[in-house]
Amino acid sequence: MFDLELGLDLSGDFYTRHFQPTPSEDTLILNMGPQHPSTHGVLRVILEIDGEYILRAEPVLGYIHRMQEKMGEVKRYEQYLPNMGRVDYLHALAWNWAYVGAVERLMGLEVPKRAEYIRVITCELNRINSHLLWWGAYLLDLGAFTPIMYAFQDREIVMDILQRVSGSRLTYCYYRFGGVSQDIDDIFIEKTKEFCAYLKPRLKMYKDLVTDNIILRKRVEDIGIIEEETLRKYGATGPVLRGSGIKYDVRRKEPYSVYSELDFEIPTASSKDALGRYLVRMQEIEESLKIIEQALEKIPPGPHISPQAPRRPKPPRGEVYFAVEGARGEIGVNLVSDGSAYPYRVKLRSPSFSNLSMFPEIAKGTLLADAVSILGSLDLVIPEIDR
Amino acid sequence: MIGSKLKETFDGVVSLLIGLKITFKNFLKPNLTVHYPRKTVKPEELTGYRGHIELVPKPENPFVPRCIGCGLCRDICPSGCIEVRSKRIAEEKEIHTPHFGLQDTPLDLTRKVAPPQKTKIEIVSFELNYNYCSLCGLCVQNCPAGSLRFSKDIYLASFSSRDFEFDLLKRLEKQAQARLKEEEEWTK
């Protein structure tokens, strides 16, 4: 369709026009999504396929764009807190931390030691939760139904623990400027210790059931190999980067909070394929358990929120960047303040966006069924990409 | 060639058997899910859970909320879902007959000379639109009078969004009446 009066090409949206079919008659243009079970949300990928092989792939974004960044400019600092639980619903506490940490850095606010330890414990519990859901959902994509049920059984325990202190089960709004909203109690500590003891044999069971399974190995081994150059080019972070053998973790490279006092490893895999990313995430769950156990022993008494914490913060003029390590990679908040009660600009750096950007390059030349495996191994959360 | 094929088949059968073993073990374990309409979660498992907000009554009078009508909750709410209306009412005071020497002074002047009237705040309405609430808890933490708390109402479901527009004063009254009734039965 062509509008003569306006001189506009109105056929299809921007992406469809951008993605013109090639003259060849052998290829087929295929839409994967926006409603596709393996895209976990509303991600649309346009594929040009020759038989079962992908020639070109292009992700289309923006189906659940909610103006999270704009909302930061029209809400006061403290009013923006609940938004952070909704950017990435799986690792909500990391986003909470990134924003709260940025405001604290801008204001020069000290956080009590106890609050820092509470943050570490809850954030790591949330990371385990996120990895467990990814594990279940990824295997669901690959055709195994039962693992997600086991994953949800474990997730339920973590959600009960976190609900006790934060009041929510998924979209947490727990951290406050200068601390956390509620102190942890003895039952929380006891339950968390119980959970750590419970999950270890479960992880062994997962290894027997899934990781060593020959069907899974066939679907993930030597599939979706990402070279270091591609990772560097697109700014990939998190388990995707570590799955290709690069030892980068914000918790170690740019230590924030009390992570420098805790002893843990950064798991990496040298195979660069989907299996590498899978193994990195499974080892990360074990490392998180290690961190939680150490933090529970080291946690000092004291206030859970700084006495100087303002109810309505008004940071001085300036710009600050604060990054934390989320389940998917580096989560960053760039905050600009003009000295008023409203932020001038809130830029959210989401790891899933960078990780997805690599997809056209990795998917080129692979089978359609492998593309599903690659997409799942990137661990995408669509609300985080669109923001 | 045949050797590798055989090995593959053997590995497949082994991993199948391991899977079956784990499935069978779990098959014998007790049921973990709560069959919702027939069973509900135990109340002690709801500790710390944030339901929608409700008003906290004064200790001496369960019908009157602690609220002082400052409107801080309304201002801080990110979604603007709280509506508080309050009015100041003057307390009744005794009427004294003017002093003998002042009986001829104009009425306005005597009013100006009189001490200011004591006023008290009455909450006219306290409405919550739960449809927009994101349960961040900022209102509860910022209430200077400690007049807000989270309820344990978790089984909320309706076909109409109107059912989630709560009149919290009415809710408080109902709770107070229920409490009184309970106390009466207790004394019997």
Q: Note the pLDDT tens digit of each residue in A61-95.
A: 888 888 888 988 898 898 898 888 888 888 899 99
Q: What is the mean pLDDT of residues A276-282?
A: 91
B146 and A CB contact within 8 Å: no
Query: In whole angstroms, what is the distance from residue A331 CA to residue A350 CA?
Result: 6
Average pLDDT over residues A110-139: 91
Q: What are phi and psi of B165, to 5 degrees?
A: -95, 105
pLDDT of residue A6: 55
**Contact criterion met (CB below 8 Å) for A141 and A33:** no
Topology, domain A81-87+110-309+366-386: Cytochrome-c3 Hydrogenase; chain B (1.10.645)
Reported as a pLDDT band with limits 50, 70 and 90, residue A102 is very high
Residue in B11, B19, B141 closest to A181 by CB: B141
Residue B124 lies in a domain: yes
Mark A203-238 as b/e (b = at least 16 C-beta within 10 Å).
beebeebbbebbebeebbeebbebeeeebeebbbbb
How far does the CA of residue A256 sit from the closest CA of chain B (Å)? 25
Token pair listed for A134: 């990814």
In terms of C-beta density within 10 A (0-12 exposed, 13-18 middle, 19 or more buried), how is residue A34 classed? Answer: middle
Lowest average pLDDT, out of A233-242, A325-334, B106-115, goes to B106-115
Residue with structure tokens 């393996």? A38
Question: Which residues pair with residue A57 across a beta bridge?
Answer: A47
Judge whether B41 lies within some domain. no
CA dist., res. A143 & res. A312, Å (int) = 50
Q: What is the pLDDT of residue A61?
A: 83
Tell me the DSSP string of A132-192.
HHHHHHHHHHTT--HHHHHHHHHHHHHHHHHHHHHS-SSS---EETTEESS---HHHHHHH
Average pLDDT over residues A327-351: 90
Chain B positions touching A164 (Cβ under 8 A) are 47-48
Tell me which chain B residues have a C-beta less than 8 angstroms from the C-beta of A153: 32
Beta carbons of B78 and A83 less than 8 Å apart? yes
Q: Does residue A1 have a pLDDT over 60?
A: no
Q: Give B8's contacts in chain A (Cβ within 8 Å).
A: 214
User: What pLDDT score does A2 carry?
Assistant: 47
Structure confidence by residue, pLDDT tens digits, A343-367? 999 999 989 998 888 888 888 888 8
Tell whether B137 is within 8 A of chain A (Cβ).
Answer: yes
Question: Which chain B residues contact residue A80 at CB under 8 A?
Answer: 78
Query: Above 80 in pLDDT, residue A196?
Result: yes
Q: Is A98 helix (H, G, I), strand (E, B) or coil?
A: helix
SS3 assignment, position B154? coil
Given a cut of 60, is residue A8 above it in pLDDT?
A: no
**B49 vs A166: CB contact, 8 Å cut-off?**
no
Best residue in A214, A218, A221 for a mutation probing chain B (most B CBs within 10 Å): A214
With an 8 Å Cβ cutoff, is B70 touching chain A?
A: no
The residues on A that touch B, with CB distances below 8 Å, are 75, 78-83, 85-86, 146, 150, 153, 156, 160, 163-168, 171, 173, 176, 181-182, 187, 205, 208-209, 212-215, 311-312
pLDDT for residue A376 is more than 50: yes
Query: For every one of its 188 residues, what pLDDT tens digit does chain B have, with 9 covering 90 and above?
Result: 788 888 888 888 888 888 888 888 888 988 888 888 888 888 777 888 888 888 888 888 878 888 888 888 888 888 888 888 888 877 666 666 666 666 666 666 655 555 666 778 888 888 888 888 888 888 888 888 888 888 888 888 889 888 888 888 888 888 888 888 888 888 77
Residue of B nearest to A183 (CA): B48
Query: What is the C-alpha to C-alpha distance for residues A237 and A320, in angstroms, rounded to an integer?
Result: 20
Q: Which residue has the higher pLDDT, A192 or A218?
A: A192
Determine the residue of chain A that is closest to B20 in CA distance: A209
Strand pairing category for A44-50 and A28-32: antiparallel
Query: How far from chain centre, in Å, is Cα A237?
Result: 10
> Which residue type sits at B18?
I
Give the range among A5-9, A251-255, A280-284 with minimum mean pLDDT.
A5-9
Confidence (pLDDT) at B67: 85
DSSP label at residue A51: T
Q: Is the Cβ pair B19, A213 closer than 8 Å?
A: yes
Using an 8 Å Cβ cutoff, are A375 and A39 in contact? Answer: yes
Q: Is residue B151 a part of any domain in this protein?
A: yes
Question: A113-141 vs A146-166: helix axis angle to the nearest 10?
Answer: 160
pLDDT at A141: 85
Give the per-residue pLDDT at B99: 67
Q: What is the mean pLDDT of residues A133-156?
A: 88
Mean pLDDT on A275-297: 91
Q: Is residue B108 part of a domain?
A: no
In terms of CA atoms, which chain A residue is nearest residue B17? A209
In a domain, B164, yes or no: yes
**Domain carrying residue B70:** 50-90+117-188
Residue B161: per-residue pLDDT: 86
Residue among B76, B137, B142 minimizing CB distance to A167: B137
In a domain, B188, yes or no: yes
CATH number of B184's domain: 3.30.70.3270
Q: Are A180 and A100 in contact (CB under 8 A)?
A: no
| Domain residue extents for chain A | 2-60, 81-87+110-309+366-386
pLDDT over 60 at A4, yes or no: no
**How high does pLDDT run on average in chain A?**
86
Q: What pLDDT, on a 0 to 100 scale, did the predictor assign at position B183? A: 83
Strand partners, B148: B55
CB contact under 8 Å between A166 and B48, yes or no, is yes
In this prediction, the answer to ipTM > 0.90 reads no
Name which residue leads in pLDDT, B104 or A271.
Answer: A271
pLDDT digits (tens, 9 = 90+) for A37-62: 666 778 888 888 888 888 888 888 88
d(CA A221, CA A234): 23
